[in-house]
């Protein structure tokens, strides 16, 4: 039994290795076969497994029909339960797996067992179908068959052949096989020479789609027909025949440019000598193409110059070139319509020079020299579209005359700019270019003064791409405007030769500049209006064609450190490292607990102060600089605030102690000092009108009846003020109410707080009051109609209480016994009778005068006493 098993498995393994077969005999007792081993992809497949009775797996065993199963690529092919019939045949219904449906027939007869599987759609490109017996677990494979699925071949496409004239000469053909068939496909190349009854067949290995026909299989100048046939197990297909002359499909080796030189006496022409490679030198006639580029150009000419049917080793001419220009030249060749060869090596030559032609565009800036009374001019120029150098420019000449004579030459240079002086009356100069062949016609340049004329407005510069900028502005609506000039220069270089300009028509309000524009670099762009009589003021902006984050960030530097604030500064980023317009500087700083704050600095100052910091604390900070294209963080720095030093603490304590001591001393001196002036500085005596009296008297005799001042003084009165004396110039008497009065104060006195006219008082101030209150604040003013010192005894006096210069006592601060108002205040004289307001008659009957007699005004008593004493 064991030897039978080994023999069966060895045979099965050998069947898998040997490849596709329609049936596999694993042992004489088992046979598996199929109707066809190769099917179209998606077609149905049927296979059978026949097991004879002498098979060792079933010999002497109890056998059942369901003991035979099928696998496809190790996947079980399911079947439904079987139903027996009279003939012993078992039928299995189709499964419901969705991807494969099978029907099994197992038949028991006298010769053995037969199991058949049906697959309605075979979707694997390659599969192994195995028959397995469930005699033991796992099941034992007793037979297998390999099935392949694919497509029939498609006709080969794009058949082309190329002749190689290099030894050994071959005709290389290739084609496109089309759709993958998933099956081994055989390609065969067929050739047939038309002029000779000769045909050749070349069979290729599977999967090969090109072939080189040897020199014996074709004739260079005879037509040959070529086609390809593809064959596999499902069918065959043939390509469209290709008819060609091998020479017309020949690709030459790159030719050689032997020599290039200028044609004598032929301006703008070059003479070129060339040749083919040694192995192809036998070819007599070819077609040739030439391409050129100038020495300062990076691009070859877009359209090469064709030269038809050129004989071998015959020189050729290339004309219509620029004068005095160095050219690089290359050529390539082909035979009739054959493919072009690769380009040859490059050779250079210079065409004959002629004098420059065309005009130069110019731009001039003018400034006045105050000392020399002349004009300083800076002239820039560049070639116009019509200008032709016609050779190598040796010099540019600026002169005052049309003919560039040495006497009138202002400057000679090879640069594109020149600085020179002119008298203020000059109106034009002439610019010309020269080479070895001559000088160009002079270009007239008008000297326009730069005047304070109106400038353009709303200049705006936008990036167009990385190497160009779009400049826009608002046009000036004036008939005197003749055009505009756009001037630009790189800001990181101060070389005047890098200043560029463009002249713009007066009807335009925008232009695109691209000359010398590079990304990430700053440019200064100015727009000047041109007037008939001068150049207007410019409008200038800074612009970038493209921005990105700065290449470097500034380093923070500590300028000052205090207890609670730190001042930081930094340097400006160099222009070549900004990569854009700086929009902001931001300082990020945080303490040891991670509390972060941000401060935005002013762009112009480049400094910032970190405030409200803790004493003796450490902080970390960095700067972030931002442009229109990104941001970059600087390096991190560590900061530490200063502690409060001992010396500062001692000074504060000492200062506080000294100040407190001085305050205590001053307070004690003020409180206990007897010096009146010192007291008055802190506690000035505020007048109390309630303790004042006012009186009017006319003659000295009337004062004789006045009781002594000593007897009238009351100990309860408080004198808070003194009097000042003023002289009133003598004035004429005025009429009042139809009568003449000599008292100027009885007609116009408004005493504000008293509310009534006060004409006089019978009392006067005592001398003791005057002497002891010389430094008190003035409270009342006494005015005389003649000098006080020469008052006659019989002349009447007028007295008036003035407005107080000190605030009156508040109502709640007055003495309880003080009267509330100055109306009908009772005053008791020495006789004990009450004195009140009354009408007094003066100077005889018939002349009544309303006077106010208020006998309780002690401030005026001293005045009366002084008046009496002055008379004596």
Indicate which CATH number applies to the domain containing 217.
2.60.40.10
Q: How far apart are alpha carbons 745 and 738 in whole angstroms?
A: 17
Query: Are both 534 and 598 inside the same structural domain?
Result: no
The pLDDT value recorded for residue 676 is: 67
Compute how many other C-beta atoms are within 10 angstroms of the C-beta atom of residue 700: 18
Do 236 and 296 lie in one domain? The reply is no
Look at residue 444 in the predicted model and tell me its pLDDT.
92
- Are residues 621 and 562 part of one domain? yes
One domain, residues 395 and 320: no
Q: Quote the pLDDT of residue 861.
A: 53
Q: Is residue 685 part of a domain?
A: no
Same domain, 313 and 371: no
Give the per-residue pLDDT at 109.
52
CA-CA-CA-CA torsion sign (79, 80, 82, 83): negative
440 and 452: one domain? Answer: no
CA nearest to 177, candidates 226, 238, 125: 238
Residues 264 and 245 grouped into a single domain: no
* Three-state SS at 27: strand
Burial of 408: CB neighbours in 10 Å, binned 0-12, 13-18, 19+:
middle
Residue 740 within a domain = no
In a domain, 619, yes or no: yes
Q: Which residue among 232, 249, 266 closes a domain?
A: 249
Phi, psi of 655 (to 5 degrees): -60, -40
What is the predicted pLDDT for the residue at 467? Answer: 92
Block means of pLDDT (10 residues each) for the chain, 872 residues, are: 42 40 54 84 85 68 64 76 35 38 47 78 86 74 85 90 87 89 89 83 87 88 90 90 89 89 87 86 85 88 78 80 90 88 91 91 81 82 91 90 79 92 87 91 86 88 93 91 94 91 93 93 94 90 94 91 87 91 93 91 90 87 93 91 69 80 79 67 65 50 46 43 48 42 42 38 41 46 50 48 45 43 42 43 43 50 52 48
> 765, 865 in Cβ contact below 8 A?
yes
Q: Quick one: three-class SS letters along 421-469?
A: EEECCCCEEEEEEEECCEECCCEEEECCCECCCCCCEEEEEEEEECCEE
- Examine the domain organization and report whether 344 and 269 are in the same domain: yes
The answer, as to whether pTM is greater than 0.75, is no
Same domain? For 381 and 332 the reply is: no
Asked which of 249, 282, 306 is the last residue of a domain, the reply is: 249
Domain-located, residue 374: yes
Tell me: do 235 and 265 sit in the same domain. no
Q: Is the peptide bond before 40 cis (omega within 30 degrees of 0)?
A: no
Residue 869 falls inside a structural domain: no
Which of 203, 209, 207 lies closest to 175, judged by CA?
Answer: 209
- Cα-based distances in Å from 195 to 165, 245, 485: 21, 11, 75
pLDDT for 291:
92
107 and 216 both lie in a single domain = no
Last residue of a domain, one of 546, 567, 602: 546
CA–CA gap between residue 130 and residue 75 (Å, rounded): 10
Overall number of domains in the chain: 6
CA-to-CA distance for 640 and 620, rounded, in angstroms? Answer: 9
In a domain, 164, yes or no: yes
Print the domain residue range for 41: 30-80+98-150
Does a structural domain hold residue 662? no
């Amino acid at each position: 039994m064991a030897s039978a098993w080994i023999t069966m498995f060895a045979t099965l393994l050998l069947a898998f290795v040997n490849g596709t077969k329609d049936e596999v005999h694993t042992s004489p007792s088992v046979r598996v076969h199929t109707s066809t081993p190769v099917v179209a992809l998606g077609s149905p497949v049927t296979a059978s497994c026949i097991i004879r009775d002498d098979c060792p797996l079933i010999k002497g065993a109890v056998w059942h029909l369901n003991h035979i199963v099928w696998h496809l690529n190790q996947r079980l092919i399911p079947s439904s339960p079987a139903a027996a019939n009279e003939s012993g045949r078992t039928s299995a219904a189709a499964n419901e797996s969705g991807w494969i449906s099978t029907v099994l027939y197992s038949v028991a007869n006298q010769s053995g067992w037969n199991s058949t599987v049906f697959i309605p759609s075979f979707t694997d490109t390659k599969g192994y179908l195995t028959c397995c017996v469930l005699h033991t677990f796992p099941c034992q494979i007793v037979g297998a068959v390999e099935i392949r699925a694919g497509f029939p071949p498609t006709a080969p496409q794009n058949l082309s052949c190329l002749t190689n004239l290099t030894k050994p000469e071959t005709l290389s053909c290739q084609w496109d096989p089309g759709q993958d068939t998933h099956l081994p496909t055989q390609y065969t190349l067929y050739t047939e020479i038309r002029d000779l009854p000769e045909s050749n067949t070349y069979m290729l290995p599977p999967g090969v789609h090109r072939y080189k026909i040897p020199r014996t299989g074709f004739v260079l100048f005879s037509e040959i027909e070529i086609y390809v046939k593809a064959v596999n197990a499902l069918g065959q297909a043939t390509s469209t025949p290709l008819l060609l002359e091998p020479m017309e499909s020949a690709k030459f080796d790159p030719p050689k440019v032997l020599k290039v030189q200028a044609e004598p006496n032929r301006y703008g022409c070059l003479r070129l000598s060339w040749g083919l490679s040694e192995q192809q030198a036998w070819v007599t006639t070819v077609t040739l193409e030439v391409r050129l580029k100038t020495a300062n150009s990076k691009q070859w000419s877009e359209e090469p110059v064709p030269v038809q049917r050129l004989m071998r080793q015959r020189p050729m001419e290339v004309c219509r070139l620029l004068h005095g220009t160095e050219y690089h030249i290359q050529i390539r060749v082909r035979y009739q319509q054959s493919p072009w060869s690769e380009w040859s090596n490059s050779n250079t030559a210079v065409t004959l020079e002629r004098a420059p032609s065309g005009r130069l565009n110019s731009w001039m800036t003018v400034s006045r020299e105050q000392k020399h009374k002349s004009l300083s001019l800076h002239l820039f120029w560049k070639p116009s579209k019509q200008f032709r150098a016609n050779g190598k420019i040796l010099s540019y000449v600026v002169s005052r005359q049309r003919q560039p004579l040495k006497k009138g030459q202002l400057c000679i240079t090879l640069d594109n700019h020149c600085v020179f002086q002119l008298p203020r009356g000059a109106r034009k100069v002439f610019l010309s270019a020269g080479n070895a062949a001559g000088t160009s016609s002079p270009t007239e340049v008008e000297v326009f003064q730069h005047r304070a004329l109106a400038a353009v407005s709303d200049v705006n510069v936008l990036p167009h791409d990385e190497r160009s900028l779009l400049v826009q502005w608002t046009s000036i609506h004036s008939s005197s405007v003749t055009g505009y000039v756009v001037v630009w220069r790189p800001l990181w270089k101060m070389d005047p030769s890098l200043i560029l300009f463009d002249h713009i028509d007066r009807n335009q309000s925008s232009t695109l500049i691209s000359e010398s524009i590079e990304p990430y670099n700053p440019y200064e762009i100015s727009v000047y209006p041109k007037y008939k009589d001068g150049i207007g003021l410019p409008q200038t902006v800074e612009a970038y064609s493209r921005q990105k984050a700065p290449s470097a960030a500034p380093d923070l530097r500590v300028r000052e450190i205090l207890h609670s604030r730190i001042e930081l500064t930094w340097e400006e980023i160099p222009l070549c490292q900004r990569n854009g317009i700086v929009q902001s500087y931001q300082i990020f700083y945080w303490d040891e607990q991670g509390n972060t704050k941000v401060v935005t600095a002013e762009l112009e100052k480049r400094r910032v102060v970190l405030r409200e910091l803790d004493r003796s604390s450490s902080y970390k900070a960095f700067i972030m600089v931002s442009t229109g294209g990104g941001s970059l963080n600087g390096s991190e720095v560590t900061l530490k605030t200063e502690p409060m030093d001992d010396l500062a603490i001692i000074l504060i304590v000492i200062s506080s102690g000294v100040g407190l001591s001085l305050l205590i001393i001053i307070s004690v001196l003020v409180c206990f000092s007897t010096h009146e002036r010192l007291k008055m500085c802190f506690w000035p005596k505020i007048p109390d009108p309630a303790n004042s009296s006012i009186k009017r008297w006319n003659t000295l005799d009337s004062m004789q009846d006045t009781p002594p001042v000593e007897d009238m003084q009351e100990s309860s009165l408080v004198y808070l003020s003194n009097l000042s004396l003023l002289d009133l110039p003598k004035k004429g008497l005025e009429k009042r109410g139809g009568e003449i009065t000599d008292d100027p104060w009885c007609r116009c006195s408004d005493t504000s707080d008293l509310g009534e006219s006060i004409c006089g008082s019978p009392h006067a101030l005592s001398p003791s009051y005057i002497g002891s209150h010389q430094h008190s604040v003035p409270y009342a003013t006494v005015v005389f109609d003649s000098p006080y010192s020469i008052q006659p005894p019989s002349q009447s006096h007028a007295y008036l209480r003035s407005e107080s210069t000190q605030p009156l006592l508040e109502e709640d601060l007055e003495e309880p016994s003080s009267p509330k108002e100055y109306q009908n205040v009772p005053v008791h004289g020495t006789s004990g009778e009450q004195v009140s307001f009354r009408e007094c008659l003066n100077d005889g009957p018939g002349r009544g005068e309303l006077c106010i007699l208020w006998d309780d005004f002690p401030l005026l008593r001293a005045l009366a006493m002084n008046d009496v004493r002055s008379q004596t």
